[in-house]
Homo-oligomer: A and B are copies of this chain.
Amino acid sequence: MLAAVAQIDYRPNRLARNLRLQKSETIGVVVPDIENPHFSEMVRVCEDSAFSAGYRVLLCNTDETPEKQRAYLETLADERVLGAIVTPADSRGVGLESLLELGIPIVAFDRVIDDPRADAVICDNVDSTRRATEHLIWLGHERIALIGGRPDVETGAERLEGYVAAMRAVGLTPFSVNGGFRTDVAEREVQTLLAMPTRPSALVVANNLMTIGALRAIKQTGLRIPLDLALVSIDDPPWAELIDPPLTVVAQPVRRMAETAIQLLLQRIHGRLGEPVRVVLPLDLRVRSSCGMRLSTANQRRG
């Protein structure tokens, strides 16, 4: 009998199976922007583990808009996915209920979700900009500006917070602009910033997309890094060490974060795991050359 089945290479109809079981062996991956290397790496890792586990990946790109997020989350609920990994586009987590109500497990990535039922894998965003800023302060900089992300999403708010904390801690006045986590916006903001009479001597840029924008703007002004302007970027894309000078960055362990997230999800799907967990992974300051040497001792603030 089984032999006969094998011979006529019978393929069970997955659509019928899905209906009967009220589930599809699919996991949803919801990200703001798949073109951002941060997320394409994350998606890559998820896809790999999902494939190994015999599942498929439904890719959901929210463009950072709550509407698209809601639409996608409802779709995932309709499709009865086994679970979802989501980087929420808004702080409230619009649309998450649709999944939660059906008992579909969710793992938050990068940004936490305001729901006790969801797991989360994040890194210490406050610490990221704090360390970047402290590094610049240690090098002797005082006019340090932050090119921040959207302050209405957690990552943006926390990175702002870390920067402000580091500045205040040594009595410096924080000055930040909102680059919206976008290349084009950051480019414009940095243009105006560098045109100011007392332009900053150092920039902390809150993600890799905005770093591209900042570098473009800097290139236009003719300022040299690190001679005229120091720069620290959050995120360590592949090209960060190839450009001249190689960028000093605070790297997030994206691969480990993604691996953790997908493993958590798979375990939840299989019913293991009890209380929801929140995993916080450590950041890594990688000093390369975009901040130059320590400024003269006269300007130094602390040793």
Contact = CB atoms under 8 A, between A and B. Distances in A.
Interface of A: 11, 13-16, 18-19, 22, 24, 26, 29, 33-35, 37, 40-41, 43-44, 47-48, 51, 56-59, 61, 68, 71, 74-75, 78-80, 183, 212, 215-216, 219, 237-239, 242-244
A75 B56 contact: yes
28 contacts: A11-B74, A13-B78, A14-B78, A15-B15, A15-B22, A15-B79, A34-B34, A34-B43, A34-B47, A35-B37, A35-B41, A35-B44, A37-B37, A43-B59, A44-B61, A51-B61, A51-B71, A56-B58, A56-B79, A57-B58, A183-B238, A212-B238, A215-B242, A216-B242, A239-B242, A239-B243, A243-B244, A244-B244
Contacts of A15: 15, 18-19, 22, 24, 79-80
Contacts of A13: 19, 78
Contacts of A37: 35, 37, 40
Copies of this polypeptide in the complex: 2
Contacts of A242: 212, 215-216, 219, 239, 243
A78 B68 CA distance: 28
A57 B59 contact: yes
B35 A59 contact: no
Contacts of A57: 58-59
Please name the 6 residue pairs, one residue from A and one from B, whose CB atoms are nearest each other, closest first: A244-B244, A239-B239, A59-B59, A14-B78, A243-B243, A15-B19
A43 B35 CA distance: 8
Given A15-B15, A33-B44, A47-B61, 12 more contacts: A13-B19, A15-B18, A15-B79, A29-B59, A35-B40, A44-B61, A56-B58, A56-B75, A57-B58, A57-B59, A212-B239, A239-B239
A219 B239 CA distance: 13
